[in-house]
Amino acid sequence: MKIRLFLSAFAFVIASSSCTKDIDFDLNEEQERIVVDALITNVKQKHLIRITKTTTFFKTYVDAPAAENANVVVSDGTNTYLCIEETPGHYYTAELAFEADKNYSLTIDYEGTTYTANDYMNSTIEIDTIRTTESEEFSFQSGQEELLASVIMEAQESPGLGDHYLWKLQVKKPDTAYKDLSPTYRDWTFSSDEFVDGRSPVDGWPIFERIPTSEIVSGSTVRVQMFGISKGYYDFLDGLGKQVFRGGLFDGPPANISSNFDNGALGYFVAASERIAFTTKE
């Protein structure tokens, strides 16, 4: 939004008119905590539960250290699914599809502590079609108009507020493997149904915008994953943005993002219905 952009510019003017200095600051480095990145869906596959550990703040960051030899179990209340550690910190379920409209729990036993999280797998809407478009847009990098691509989704949103969505994008150019265009949080798109509730927008939903046209060349296969996520996870994603894009004059006080785990574990256990749609760029 242009107003936010303006405010950032304004904050920059203020910041640049003062002086800065790097200082020694004693942080109360706290005990290591575990960080969970877990996603189970209704698509038949081996679902990944990745467990890492926090690191001290003032340290060159290499890779998150894995939390190994944990006991990891998914449960829907009746059935339990044991996860196997295939590589350090990466725990997989057997190949299976979880059912939507059920509550799931994830229990992790690690170094004598048990961590538990719950998430409800909402069923989600169908994707009618996806398509790509191209248009001239102002590029902040080059300062000029540039041809940029968008991915548009056509779908009928279900009536009643409270639905939340997360999209990820992969593209396979002719004669290459799929490339993940959503490798990190800042390349994901998520939204609530606040502005589209119960509607099918006339021009579709622009779910990915401002993609360099070199990423989606003629003949490319575009693959979109859509996840129907819980409000809890939506709030978590929204909170992540506050951390990732922090530094403005208008930030609230810093605060940890609420996890759905107990006992101080970080991250989120996500149970989401997944839809996958494809299109080919002509």
Partner 1 sequence: MIGASVFFKELKTGGVANIYGFYSVSAEPGLYTVEFSFIGSQSITKQIDLTTSQTLNIELSPSAASLNMVEVVGEAQNKNVEEVQMSTIDMKMETIKKIPALMGEVDVIRAIQLLPGVQSGGEGSTGFFVRGGGLDQNLILLDEAPVYNASHLFGIFSVFNQDAIKNAELYKGGIPARYGGRLSSVLDVRMKEGNSKKTKVSGGIGLISSRLTIEGPIVKDKISYVISGRRTYGDLFLKLLPSDNPASDAELFFYDLNGKVNWRINNKNRVFISAYTGRDVLGAGDLFKLGWGNQTVSARWNHIFSDRLFSNFTGIYSNFNYNLGVPSGPNEFVWTSKILNYSFKNDYTFYANTNNTVKFGIQSTYHTFKPAIIEPGLINDAFNKIEFFNRYAWENGIYVSNEQKIGGRFTLQYGLRLSSFSNVGRDTVYTYDEEYNNTGFDAYESGDVYNTFANLEPRLAAKFTIDDVSSVKASYNRMTQYLHLATNSTGGAPLDVWMPSSTNTAPGIADQIALGYFRNLNKNMFETSVEVYYKVLQNQIDFADNANILLNKQLEGVIRQGGGESFGAEFYVKKQTGKLTGWVSYTLSRATRMVEGINDGNTYLANYHRPHSVSIVATYALNKKLDLSATWVHNTGTRLTAPTGRFNYGGELIPVYSDRNASKMPDYHRADVGLNWKISDDDKRWKNSLNFSIYNVYARQNAFAINFVNNEVNLPTARMTYLFSIIPSITWNFEF
The phi, psi pair for 49, rounded to 5°, reads -115, 110
Q: Does 140 bind partner 1 (CB under 8 A)?
A: no
* Stretch of 99-107, 181-189, 202-210, 271-279 contacting partner 1, by CB under 8 A: 181-189
| Residues in contact with 95: Cβ distance below 8 Å, sequence separation at least 6, in sequence order | 44, 45, 46
Q: Does 60 bind partner 1 (CB under 8 A)?
A: yes
Q: Does 202 bind partner 1 (CB under 8 A)?
A: no
Q: Does 11 bind partner 1 (CB under 8 A)?
A: no
How far apart are CB 145 and partner 1 at their closest, in Å? Answer: 12
Q: Does 10 bind partner 1 (CB under 8 A)?
A: yes
Given the structure tokens 């057997």, which residue do they identify?
A: 94
Q: Does 135 bind partner 1 (CB under 8 A)?
A: no
What's the chain's Rg over C-alpha atoms? Answer: 21
Q: Does 238 bind partner 1 (CB under 8 A)?
A: yes
Query: How far apart are alpha carbons 31 and 160 in whole angstroms?
Result: 43
61-236-124-166 Cα dihedral, nearest 10 degrees? -40
- The residue within the footprint of partner 1, chosen from 143, 160, 254, 282 (CB under 8 A), is 254
Query: How far apart are alpha carbons 106 and 125 in whole angstroms?
Result: 25
Q: Does 22 bind partner 1 (CB under 8 A)?
A: yes
Nearest CA among 208, 84, 76 for reference residue 149: 208
- The residue within the footprint of partner 1, chosen from 44, 179, 186, 199 (CB under 8 A), is 186
Q: Does 177 bind partner 1 (CB under 8 A)?
A: no
- The residue within the footprint of partner 1, chosen from 80, 218, 244, 278 (CB under 8 A), is 244
x/- map, 213-232, partner 1, by CB under 8 A: ------------------x-
Measured on CA atoms in the order 145, 149, 155, 161, is the torsion positive or negative? negative
- The residue within the footprint of partner 1, chosen from 41, 42, 52, 225 (CB under 8 A), is 52
Q: Three-class SS string for 190-219? A: EEECCCCCCCCCCCCEEEEEEEEHHHCCCC
Bridge partners (DSSP) of residue 274 are 227
Q: Does 16 bind partner 1 (CB under 8 A)?
A: no
Q: Does 37 bind partner 1 (CB under 8 A)?
A: yes
How far apart are CB 4 and partner 1 at their closest, in Å? Answer: 8
In order of 167, 235, 279, the CA distances from 172 in angstroms are 17, 31, 11
Q: Which two tokens stand for residue 61?
A: 């960051």
- The residue within the footprint of partner 1, chosen from 54, 156, 191, 213 (CB under 8 A), is 54
Query: How far apart are alpha carbons 176 and 165 in whole angstroms?
Result: 29
Q: Does 203 bind partner 1 (CB under 8 A)?
A: no
Cβ–Cβ < 8 Å for 222, 279: yes
Nearer to partner 1, 11 or 276 (CB): 11
Helix or strand run (H / E) with residue 238: helix 231-244
Q: Does 100 bind partner 1 (CB under 8 A)?
A: no
Interface residues toward partner 1, by CB under 8 A = 1-4, 6-7, 9-10, 13-15, 18-25, 27-30, 32-33, 35, 37, 52-61, 63-64, 183-186, 188, 231, 238-240, 242-244, 247, 249-258, 266-268
